[in-house]
Amino acid sequence: MKKLLFVLITPVFILNACVPVNMQTSAVYPPTDPEFIEVFETPSLNAMKTLGTFAQSLPQKRYSKIADIPLRGTVSIDTVKKKAAKLGADAVIIINDSLTGLKAAAIKYYAE
């Protein structure tokens, strides 16, 4: 029984490992230039509970999140910017959470 359960669950984990980006919208945006992707960051959720607010910079413009980009291992900011640019993002917010790990939210600014 344990072997059967392992055989049934293993493909799900393998498939999940192959999905590098979690899209948050069905909209498709044209690619942007990675050189112009802005980078912001937030503290961990534990730090936010302690501080009661965001201690790091966040975008001042209105935006919507278009995708989550998981960051596994050692990833350079240039790599994150290239992934976000392919999605048409204007910026990324690096989220450091001790519970879920490091990820980046690719965001698109609203037209003003």
Predicted confidence at residue 59, as pLDDT, reads 86
Please enumerate in sequence order all residues whose Cβ is within 8 A of that of 56, keeping only pairs 6 or more positions apart, or say none. 40, 41, 42, 43
C-alpha to C-alpha distance for 104 and 112, rounded to whole angstroms: 24
Residue spans of alpha helices (H) in 1-102: 2-18, 45-51, 77-86
Element (H, E) at 109: strand 101-109
Bridge partners (DSSP) listed for residue 64: 108
pLDDT tens, N- to C-terminus, the chain (112 residues): 444 434 444 343 333 334 456 666 678 899 999 999 999 987 655 554 544 444 447 888 999 999 999 888 778 889 999 999 999 999 999 887 777 778 899 999 998 7
C-alpha to C-alpha distance for 43 and 23, rounded to whole angstroms: 23
